[in-house]
Amino acid sequence: MEDCIFCKIIKGELPSYTIYEDEILKVFMNIDPSTNGHLLLIPKKHLVTVLDIDQNFISHALEIIQKKIYPLLKEKLNCEGLTISQNNFYGQEVKHFHIHLTPRYQEDLVEFSYNKEKLLDIEEVYQKLVN
């Protein structure tokens, strides 16, 4: 993809602080981190959302997170947890699939905010989902 910033990072046309890469994926630092060590994990192939991703990629990504990334964040930054998140379509700023790896620390104040006023009754939503 010509004008995709993450494809440019993969090709080396834009700089990035790379933490890990192999033939399938790349892990680099988020330019606008929510916490110290906030990373992005992306496929080297230009894929857009979770609907484009295959199970082999997820399985490989999981192995890299478990064996390399989490231990690194724990050892070097002494994080107390790791929040893994991923936006599709709405809320997705960069249209190249990416997984946020956000190390968590006491009182980091990271939160997923939402509008409670707009929520339907749980029962009503359940009925929509199962009928």
Determine which residue in the list 4, 5, 82, 110 makes contact with ligand 5GP, applying CB under 6 A. Answer: 5
Residue 73 φ/ψ region, left for φ over 0, alpha for ψ in the -120 to 50 degree band, beta for the rest: alpha
Interaction partner, residue 1 (ligand 5GP, Zn ion, none; CB < 5-8 Å by kind): Zn ion
**Which range binds ligand 5GP by CB under 6 A, 30-38, 59-67, 72-80, 110-118?**
30-38
Alpha helices by DSSP H, listed for 1-131, are 5-11, 55-64, 70-77, 122-130
Interaction partner, residue 7 (Zn ion, ligand 5GP, none; CB < 5-8 Å by kind): Zn ion
Determine which residue in the list 32, 107, 111, 123 makes contact with ligand 5GP, applying CB under 6 A. Answer: 32
Nearest to 48 by CA among 11, 99, 95: 95
